[in-house]
Amino acid sequence: MDSQDTSQYEARQTICELGRSLLDDDLTTGTGGNLSVRLDDDHIAISPSGVPYGEIEPSDVPVVRTDGTVVAGDGDPSTELPMHRAVYDRRPDVGGVVHTHSPYATTFASLGEPIPASHYLLAFAGTEVPVTEYETHATEELGEEAVEALGDSANATLLRNHGVLTTESSLADAYSVAQMVEYCARIHYQASVIGDPEILPDEELHRIQGKLDSYGT
């Protein structure tokens, strides 16, 4: 197995592992949600459609050209492939995409309300988690709404009446963003039930992002 094949196998294996984590971490239910990795300028790997996460093997994970053509894998690509392709096309900095139906964040998506920075860990996503306009799932239009909401630098958006989309330079980091978004959504919900949460200013979020960027270097 050459280095390119090894890298592709590892990416597909990561999709299998993190797919199971989606259930363990209560970020989705059933076969909902999907994950993908940018393999190179012309290919992505994406979780298969309709296969229980516990049953997915690396060989099941489709490898797809950026034009949507499947070139490897025993499964059909996720029906949300158009949304993933739109993100990779618009955001060259993105190396991994995670789509979840996590309950607290999806609650705000169903309300059509962004998640503000009532907790500093929202800095992993941006200065807030915006909300898209509603579009039917698995459509090109939903992908267009997602990339419009993400803009040039945000790492998360709520898909109105649907769920959550997160991005980062790697799939593991995009998964971490999904966890942080759900945590911050839960904290904001709970704080709102008790009282009126204080929202951190954008300048503080940018300061925190600078610390996160240099963390561990």
Catalytic amino acids? 80
CA distance 208 to 177: 15
CA distance 103 to 139: 22
| Angle at 15 (CA atoms; ends 179, 70), nearest 5 degrees | 130
How many CB atoms are located within 10 Å of the residue 50 CB? 10
CA distance 169 to 165: 14
Q: How far is CA 130 from the centre of its chain?
A: 13
Burial class of 138 by CB neighbour count within 10 A (0 to 12, 13 to 18, 19+): middle
Nearest-10 crossing angle of helices 3-24, 171-194: 20
Structure tokens at 160: 């109105």
CA distance 168 to 137: 22
CA distance 154 to 130: 9
